[in-house]
Amino acid sequence: MNMKVDLCGVTLNNPVMTASGTFGSGAEYSEFVDLNKLGGVVTKGVANVPWPGNPTPRVTETASGMLNAIGLQNPGIDLFCKRDIPFLKQYDTKIIVNVCGKSTEDYCEVVERLADQPVDMLEINLSCPNVKEGGLVFGTCPDSAAEVVKAVKSNTSKMVITKLSPNVTDIVAMAQAVEAAGTDAISLINTLIGMKIDIDRQKPVLGNVIGGLSGPAVRPVAVRMCYQVAQNVHVPIIGMGGIMTAEDAIEFFLAGASAVAVGTVNFTNPCIAETISHGILEYMDKHGIKKLKDMIGLAL
């Protein structure tokens, strides 16, 4: 059985990657998991300059999930290129760099800096506040999202994945906008907006008040959005959102995803990606599926 995935001309050894923000840039997990067994490592968001992130507390558990308000804290592109890329190049896995910014120019500065770096793909994080639009998140406006994608595509020769936010009225319209702008693939979903209140303190738990909800609680939403988008675009989809098991991942393949990314579960089981890959193989064997691509979209 063949688990390899061709994602926009980039061949992944298997379809299971790590979701941005849940795996750092691999170093802190390398003591627990063989990075060679991953289809790809999607790095934590990288900006043109270091970002300090949001005030603490930044993380809290919820029923069937967690809320985070890290604020895309990161050391900036210079340190990332010096420290993290050389580390990841030691392994037989694909390097997908998550790029963030507060203006279109910020995104372009990062992708230009990565032009001569040995990374395989770029994932454009549209869940950043657009400072020129008064804090409106790029990923909630089709025109703003398309503007970023067009600019990034004109400044890089690498394959571009656009990561979409679920906090929109029409996910299909967002997907079609970034496809028309030239994205090579789409990853969805990012976190849902939520909050938690400490009833004893009678105050929000998170220092930022609101945060991104992830984990099993969001999976039905993610599967639904993947299913809808797959029927309306022609670029590959990377499905994510609450994947805990092989069965969860298989839902996304059947809904039209070409690959998947695991996120929140990495915090409780760093080795889960390999376990999920084995489970997918068992499913393929049980159902007589020779190639992974043969089960993509079977539920459509």
CA distance 71 to 287: 43
Q: What is the DSSP string of 203-269?
A: EESSTTSEEEEESGGGHHHHHHHHHHHHTT--S-EEEESS--SHHHHHHHHHTT-SEEEE-GGGGT-
Q: Are 108 and 152 in contact (CB under 8 A)?
A: yes
- Six token digits for residue 50: 């270091």
Helices 219-230 and 246-254: crossing angle in degrees, nearest 10, is 30
For the beta carbon of residue 77, count every other beta carbon within 10 angstroms: 22
Whether 128 is catalytic is yes
Give the H/E segment covering residue 137.
Answer: strand 136-137
Helices 219-230 and 171-180: crossing angle in degrees, nearest 10, is 50
Integer distance in angstroms from the first to the last C-alpha of the chain?
Answer: 23
CA distance 67 to 195: 7
CA distance 144 to 133: 10
Q: Are 74 and 108 in contact (CB under 8 A)?
A: no
- Six token digits for residue 232: 């309306």
Of the candidates 126, 132, 122, the one whose C-alpha atom is nearest the C-alpha of residue 166 is: 126
Q: Which residue out of 8, 128, 141, 271 is catalytically annotated?
A: 128
Active-site annotation, residues: 128
